[in-house]
C-alpha cells in the first residue's frame, strides 16, 4: 500500500470515503450551534434539529422531550452510520472500523462491572451502555466475581481478550481494581490499534499515529491528575501509560513522579504542542483541561479530512460525531435546566 494509495485506494475504499465525507458535511455548523444556543426549551431544539441530519430520528418523538431521548436518538444516528459503513467495508477497513469501537467496549465492560459491584440492575446498566460497544454476552459480565472469572466467562470471546493478559489477577473486584483494569485495557488497546495502523502504512499510519499519540498522551495526563493523592504507586502509575506518543518515554518519567497539578503542567510545557493547551489554563486549575484537550483533539480530527486516500477520516468522523453529541447533550441540559449562561462552558465547536 505504501505510496500507491492514490492508485488503488478507491477500488475498495472510495465509496466509503465518499460516504464518510458526506456524513462529515452533515455535522452541525456554527450557525446551527448559534441557533441551538438560543433555544428556549427542548422542543425548540428538536425543531431545530429536524432540519439537520438528525431530523428523521427525532421526528416521531412525542412532545415532552427529555435530554436522554435526544442524546439516545442522536447516538442512534451515529450507530446507523457506523453500521452502514461496517457493512460495506472490506478488509482491512472493516478491521479498522471495528478497532474504533473497542474503546466503547472497554467502557461498557467497566460500567457493567462497577454497576454490579454496587448492586445495580443489569437491565438499567445495559441501557446506559454505549451501543457501539455492545457485544453478545455483555450482560453475563454481572456473573463474574473477579478478574479471572471475568476473563474466563465472558471476555475470552470478545476482541478484548488479548488485552487482558496484563490484568488477570484473582483479586476481588473493587473500584480501584476496576479503574486500573480500565486503564490497562485501554493502554493495551491503544498500543494494539497503533501497531495495526502502522501495519496499514501510508497516510493512514501517518495521521492515525498522530491522533492516537495525542489520545495516549491525553490519557497519560488524565491518569496522572486523577491518581494524585491516591494510593497508586509511582511504578503502578507508570505502568498505565501507553508505550508510544509524544511523551514516551521521558515525559512519562516526569509524569510518574508528579505530586500536584502544577508539576504536571511543568512536565507538559516542555512539549510545544501541549504548551498551548496549558497556556490557556490558569495555574492550579484542572477543570478546563478536559475542554482544552477536546478542542485540540477536534482541531486535529478536522485536519484529518485534509488528506485523501486514508482511513483516519473514519476515525475522525466517529470522534467528531461523538463530540457533537456531547455538545448537544450539554446544550440540551443547559436549556432544560434554564442555565443558558453556562452553555459555552463545555461546548466544543467543530468547524
Partner 1 sequence: MVASKMAQFIDNIPSMDLMRSEKMTFAQLIIPVESAHRAVSYLGELGLFQFRDLNENKSPFQRTFINQVKRCAEMSRKLRFFKDQISKAGLMSSPHSVLQPDIELEELEYQLAEHEHELIELNSNSEKLRQSYNELLEFKIVLQKAFGFLASNHSHEFSERELEENVYLNDGYFDTASPLEKELKPGSSYQSGLRFISGMICKSKVLRFERMLFRATRGNMLFNQAAADELIEDPVSNEKIEKTVFVVFFSGEQARTKILKICESFGANCYPVPEDISKQRQISGEVSTRLSDLETTLDAGIRHRNKALASVECHLAKWMNMVRREKAVYDTLNMLNFDVTKKCLVGEGWCPVFAKLQIQEALQRATLDSSSQVGIIFHPMDAAESPPTYFRTNRFTSAYQEIVDAYGVARYEEANPAVYTVITFPFLFAVMFGDWGHGICLLLGALVLIARESRLSKERLGSFMEMLFGGRYVLLLMSLFSIYCGLIYNEFFSVPFHIFGKSAYSCRDASCRDAHTAGLVKLRDPYPFGVDPSWRGSRSELAFLNSLKMKMSILLGVAQMNLGIILSYFNAHYFSSSVDIRYQFVPQMIFLNSLFGYLSLLIVIKWCNGSQADLYHVMIYMFLSPTDNLGENQLFRGQRPLQIVLLLLALIAVPWMLFPKPFILKKLHHERFQGRTYGMLTTSEMDLEEEPDSARQHDEEFNFSEVFVHQMIHSIEFVLGAVSNTASYLRLWALSLAHSELSTVFYEKVLVLAWGYDNLVIRLVGLAVFAFATAFILLMMETLSAFLHALRLHWVEFQNKFYHGDGYKFRPFSFASLTEDDD
Query: Which letter does DSSP use for residue 171 in this model?
Result: P
**Is 310 in a helix, a strand, or coil?**
coil
Residue 177 binds to partner 1 (criterion: CB under 8 A): no
- CB atoms inside a 10 Å sphere around CB 348: 20
Residue 148 binds to partner 1 (criterion: CB under 8 A): no
Region from 39-47, 187-195, 271-279, 330-338 binding partner 1, contact rule CB under 8 A: 39-47
Shortest reach from residue 16's CB to partner 1, in Å: 24
The Cα 122–Cα 112 span in angstroms is 7
Give the angle subtended at the CA of 105 by the CAs of 103 and 111, to the nearest 5°. 110
Shortest reach from residue 244's CB to partner 1, in Å: 35
Region from 36-44, 204-212, 313-321, 336-344 binding partner 1, contact rule CB under 8 A: 36-44
Quick check: 75 and 131 in contact, CB under 8 A? Answer: yes
Residue 136 binds to partner 1 (criterion: CB under 8 A): yes
The Cα 119–Cα 140 span in angstroms is 14
Residue 282 binds to partner 1 (criterion: CB under 8 A): no
Residue 43 binds to partner 1 (criterion: CB under 8 A): yes
Q: Which residues contact 222 (CB under 8 A, 6 or more apart)?
A: none
**Cell numbers representing residue 244 in the block:** 508510544
Shortest reach from residue 41's CB to partner 1, in Å: 9
Quick check: 141 and 150 in contact, CB under 8 A? Answer: yes
Query: Which letter does DSSP use for residue 258 in this model?
Result: -
* Choice between 159 and 273, CB closer to partner 1: 159
Residue 246 binds to partner 1 (criterion: CB under 8 A): no
Shortest reach from residue 61's CB to partner 1, in Å: 8
The Cα 210–Cα 63 span in angstroms is 44
Shortest reach from residue 349's CB to partner 1, in Å: 17
Residue 231 binds to partner 1 (criterion: CB under 8 A): no
Residue 284 binds to partner 1 (criterion: CB under 8 A): no
Residues that bind partner 1 (CB under 8 A): 35, 38-40, 43-44, 47-48, 50-51, 59-63, 122, 136-143, 152-154, 157
Amino acid at each position: 500500500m505504501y505510496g500507491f494509495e492514490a492508485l488503488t485506494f478507491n477500488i475498495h475504499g472510495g465509496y466509503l470515503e465518499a460516504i464518510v465525507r458526506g456524513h462529515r458535511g452533515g455535522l452541525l455548523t456554527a450557525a446551527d450551534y448559534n441557533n441551538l444556543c438560543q433555544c428556549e426549551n427542548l422542543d425548540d431544539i428538536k425543531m431545530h434539529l429536524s432540519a439537520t441530519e438528525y431530523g428523521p430520528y427525532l421526528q416521531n418523538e412525542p412532545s415532552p422531550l427529555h435530554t436522554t431521548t435526544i442524546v439516545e436518538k442522536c447516538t442512534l444516528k451515529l450507530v446507523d452510520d457506523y453500521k452502514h459503513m461496517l457493512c460495506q467495508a472490506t478488509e482491512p477497513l472493516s478491521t479498522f472500523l471495528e478497532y474504533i469501537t473497542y474503546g466503547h467496549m472497554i467502557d461498557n465492560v467497566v460500567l457493567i462491572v462497577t454497576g454490579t459491584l454496587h448492586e445495580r440492575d443489569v437491565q438499567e446498566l445495559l441501557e446506559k451502555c454505549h451501543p457501539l460497544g455492545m457485544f453478545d454476552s455483555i450482560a453475563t459480565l454481572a456473573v463474574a466475581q473477579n478478574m479471572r472469572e471475568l476473563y474466563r466467562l465472558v471476555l475470552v470471546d470478545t476482541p478484548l481478550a488479548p488485552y487482558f493478559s496484563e490484568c488477570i489477577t484473582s483479586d476481588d473486584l473493587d473500584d480501584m481494581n476496576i479503574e486500573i483494569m480500565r486503564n490497562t485495557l485501554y493502554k493495551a488497546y491503544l498500543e494494539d490499534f497503533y501497531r495495526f495502523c502502522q501495519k496499514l502504512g501510508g497516510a493512514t499510519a501517518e495521521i492515525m499515529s498522530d491522533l492516537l499519540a495525542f489520545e495516549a498522551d491525553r490519557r497519560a495526563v488524565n491518569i496522572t491528575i486523577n491518581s494524585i493523592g491516591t494510593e497508586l504507586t509511582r511504578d503502578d502509575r507508570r505502568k498505565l501509560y501507553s508505550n508510544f506518543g509524544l511523551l514516551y518515554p521521558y515525559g512519562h518519567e516526569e509524569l510518574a513522579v508528579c505530586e500536584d497539578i502544577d508539576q504536571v503542567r511543568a512536565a507538559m510545557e516542555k512539549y510545544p504542542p501541549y504548551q498551548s493547551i496549558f497556556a490557556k489554563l490558569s495555574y492550579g486549575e484542572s477543570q478546563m483541561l478536559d475542554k482544552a484537550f477536546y478542542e485540540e483533539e477536534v482541531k486535529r480530527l478536522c485536519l484529518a479530512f485534509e488528506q485523501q486516500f486514508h482511513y483516519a477520516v473514519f476515525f475522525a468522523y466517529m470522534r467528531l460525531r461523538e463530540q457533537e453529541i456531547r455538545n448537544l447533550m450539554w446544550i440540551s441540559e443547559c436549556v432544560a435546566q434554564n442555565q443558558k449562561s453556562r452553555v459555552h462552558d463545555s461546548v466544543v465547536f467543530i468547524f
